[in-house]
Amino acid sequence: MRVNTHGLTQAFESFTQATGSLKTSYGQLQVEMTRLRRELEVTNQELFRSLEENARIRDCGAAVWIGKVMQGWNS
């Protein structure tokens, strides 16, 4: 039985190239996921601050409205 070593060598080279390409792509994907997680964390922090600020403004507005209503009743 004669083995075609040239074909086998080419197959291993192709496999090695594909493996290298997949490894590079996976590394890039990990970097992108890290970036996106950080971006999401910052965005979520900004959203939380905005929600807190909106709640304070609503609470303050309600207090002003109640004060005006009470003044109207006392007049």
Per-residue pLDDT reduced to its tens digit, 15-43: 999 999 999 999 999 999 999 999 999 99
- Rounded to whole angstroms, the Cα distance separating 62 from 55 reads 10
- Rounded to whole angstroms, the Cα distance separating 62 from 3 reads 87
Which pLDDT band, with edges at 50, 70 and 90, does 75 fall under?
low
Q: How far is residue 25 from each of residues 5, 13, 31, 68, measured CA to CA in Å?
A: 30, 18, 10, 63
Dihedral angle over CA of 48, 52, 53, 59, nearest 10: 160
* Tally of structural domains, the chain: 1
Expressed as residue numbers, the domain containing 59 is 1-75
